[in-house]
Amino acid sequence: MNWDYELLVIGAGPGGLAAAETAADYGVRVAIAEQEQVGGTCVVHGCIPEKLMTYAAGFSKVFERADEYGWGHVSKNFDWCQFMEARNRDIQHLCQMHIQKLEKAGVELIKGHAKFLDAHTVDINGQEYKANKILIAVGRKAIKPEVPGIEYAITTRKFLELKHQPKHLAIIGSNYIAVKLAGMMNGLISKVTLVISDDKVLPGCDHALRTTVQDEMTRLGIRICTNSQVEKIERVQDCLNLRLSDSNEPVEVETVVWISDRVPNWDGLGLEKAGVEVKQGAIAVDEYSRTSQANIFAVGDCTARPRFTPVAIAAGRAFADTEFGDHPRTVDYDYVPYVVSSQPEAATVGLTEAQAKAQLGKAVRCYQKTFQSLLDMRAESPEQTLLKLVVDDNSDRIVGAQMVGDCASEIIQMIALAINAGVTKADFNHTIGIHPSIGEEFFCLSP
């Protein structure tokens, strides 16, 4: 059959872009469909803009330490509008770079909403396109629950488009996105109230990491309402009142950001017409990213795999290598590191202590240390750095690592490489680190 394209990718986020460019490198005729900006949530509404804002928030900590390091008192005057204008320019530049990469690779960009007509045919803005293979990479989108007054709450996407900085905001949620937003806005000198339904932030993370992050957030002035549910949001003049399940007194704020779970962004995609199976709220795929329809594949957050940008990129490239490069391969998702850009930063890889004990029973040994870094010691800051290793006592292999403190993401991703290579605690003990540094402390942890 004469196909319009050998591969049609739906969604120009990290996974879709990686797959399209890799496939094009193999000489395949590729098109990619995107209804919004090229780059996806990560570049436009997520990781990149949030990270830039985290960098901006980090200056408040630097200013606090400046006096002890001989710089004198530095005033904290953050210009929200100036920063947002510069940030938006950076995002537009990144989007344009991705478009240029597609052009250079020979990938055709089709702007518009895609919907399946059958397993090989996609309609985009009324034009039909036939492709031998189709890759779905539509990501996820934020949702809001049915709570009275929920129309007054915004999602993170809308928050990142605000023209003025909220003086006091409430963040509803306890996941890494909520914790990150709470930390960055506190660093930008907004008053922050975080409402969580559990007793600790970051569900699913290691208990020591959760406790350290929450204690530091509280110390920095973030109000955390634990074991609490929002029952109602009311507008009172220019303010919003939150009615919480554990309090008779409302919380008065200027802005409410609701950060709950995200759902696959497949509205109007017509998966049923293509015969693509959905299981437990995600597109079902095998180890090679193939769906229930033999010629249709899916990568990224619309599947049940870990929802991180590098995971989507790795899966997209593996798909293209397998289908077009005569190099069948899968992706190992067991030891994927990730960062919580909180204040202070936290990062983790592998098993938590609880997960390790559930899998290995009593054959688990943990090595942990909490201390002040040299930087904080000199600045007389009470901020604590946490390092933790989780070890299989039978084999001495390290199966998990946790860190809270400066440079956590950079250190943990290197430990991820070591864990994937099968490193043991004895290997760590025999390694000489760089002094003075935070990372060297990982090589001398005691039980």
**Catalytic-role residue among 73, 93, 430, 435:** 435
Residues forming beta bridges with residue 243, ordered by sequence position: 232
Give the C-alpha separation, 166 to 254, whole Å: 6
63 has a pLDDT exceeding 70: yes
- pLDDT at residue 379 in the model: 64
Give the C-alpha separation, 166 to 113, whole Å: 34
Specify the pairing of strand 385-392 against strand 140-142. Answer: unpaired
Give the C-alpha separation, 44 to 36, whole Å: 10
3-state DSSP call for residue 343? coil
Q: What is the DSSP string of 79-114?
A: -HHHHHHHHHHHHHHHHHHHHHHHHHHTPEEEES-E
191 has a pLDDT exceeding 80: yes
- Residue scoring higher pLDDT (64 or 306): 306
- CATH number where 117 lies: 3.50.50.60
User: Percent of the chain having pLDDT more than 70?
Assistant: 100
Domain range for 349 is 344-444
The predicted-structure confidence for 152-187, as pLDDT tens digits, reads as follows 999 999 999 999 999 999 999 999 999 999 999 999
Is residue 60 within 8 A of residue 145, CB to CB? The reply is: no
User: Per-residue pLDDT averaged across 94-121, rounded?
Assistant: 97
64 has a pLDDT exceeding 90: no
225 has a pLDDT exceeding 90: yes
Helix locations, 236-279, DSSP H: 271-274
Q: How confident is the model at residue 248 (pLDDT cuts 50, 70, 90)?
A: confident
Out of 260, 288, 306, a domain closes at 260
What are the φ/ψ torsions at residue 184 (nearest 5 degrees)? -65, -40
Give the C-alpha separation, 418 to 398, whole Å: 9
The predicted-structure confidence for 22-59, as pLDDT tens digits, reads as follows 999 999 999 999 999 999 999 998 899 999 999 999 99
**Residues for the chain: how many in total?**
447
Residue 256 sits in the same domain as residue 277: no
Out of 243, 260, 277, a domain closes at 260
Residue 281 sits in the same domain as residue 198: no
Task: Find the farthest-apart pair of alpha carbons in the chain and give their distance in angstroms, rounded.
Answer: 73
Residue 102 sits in the same domain as residue 41: yes
Q: How confident is the model at residue 447 (pLDDT cuts 50, 70, 90)?
A: confident
User: Per-residue pLDDT averaged across 191-213, rounded?
Assistant: 96
- pLDDT at residue 210 in the model: 97
Residue 284 sits in the same domain as residue 220: no
Distance of CA 208 to the CA centre of its chain: 21
Residue 435 annotated in active site: yes
Specify the pTM: 0.93
- pLDDT at residue 1 in the model: 75
- pLDDT at residue 342 in the model: 86
| Both structure tokens of 116 | 């399946």
Is residue 338 in a domain? no
Q: How confident is the model at residue 382 (pLDDT cuts 50, 70, 90)?
A: confident
